[in-house]
């Protein structure tokens, strides 16, 4: 026996509302959202620090004298900038690069395999950020001569 359209229960559509400024602090962004924001921020940081990266590369490969000057920056600083501050900036550059790389590889994997499920998005975002952070911490420990 067929039921008519009038007898079927009505389903309510989900209601989407914009967030107000006062609600932003209490909004819980999912891990995939954090990964997206971190990917954008790290990309911007890499772009902003590009002149420093180019100087470091040029100073390290031009000659033995320029390499010594480059190594002295990490040992004694340059001008009014102490060595530890320079190392912190370079550590930020390393961390930004590794986060951008790991999260970018996550996006490439998702695009190639069409793996866009909610659980995969959450777990892959956490893994990408954890791997990038752990490798950055290991390289940072080497940068600060902890091993």
Asked if the structure places residue 43 within a domain, the reply is yes
Q: What is the DSSP letter of 2?
A: P
**Residue 18: both structure tokens together:** 């914009």
Asked if residue 53 belongs to a domain, the reply is yes
Predicted pLDDT of residue 3: 59
For residue 41, being part of any structural domain is answered with: yes
How is 57-97 classified by DSSP, letter by letter? HHHHHS-HHHHHHHHHHHHH-BTTB-HHHHHHHHHHHHHHH
Structure pTM? 0.79
Measuring CA to CA, which residue among 81, 87, 91, 92 is closest to residue 44? 92
Q: Is residue 112 part of a domain?
A: yes
10-residue averages of pLDDT along the chain (147 residues): 63 76 82 94 95 92 92 90 93 96 95 87 95 97 91
Number of separate domains in the chain: 1
The domain in which residue 89 lies consists of: 30-143
CATH number at 71 reads 1.20.1300.10
CB-count exposure of residue 61 (10 Å: 0-12, 13-18, 19+) = exposed
């Amino acid at each position: 026996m067929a039921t008519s359209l009038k007898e079927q229960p009505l389903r309510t559509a989900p209601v989407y509302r914009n967030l107000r400024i006062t609600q932003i602090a209490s909004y819980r962004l999912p891990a995939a959202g954090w990964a997206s924001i971190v990917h954008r921020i790290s990309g911007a940081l890499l772009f902003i620090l590009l002149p420093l990266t180019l100087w470091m590369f040029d100073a390290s490969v031009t000659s033995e004298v320029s390499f010594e000057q480059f190594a002295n920056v990490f040992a004694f600083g340059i001008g009014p900038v102490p060595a530890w501050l320079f190392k912190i900036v370079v550590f930020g550059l390393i961390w930004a690069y590794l986060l951008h790389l790991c999260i970018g590889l996550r996006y490439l994997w998702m695009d190639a395999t069409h793996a866009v499920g909610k659980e995969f998005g959450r777990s892959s975002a956490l893994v990408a950020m954890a791997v990038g952070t752990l490798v950055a911490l290991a390289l940072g420990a080497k940068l600060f001569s902890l091993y």
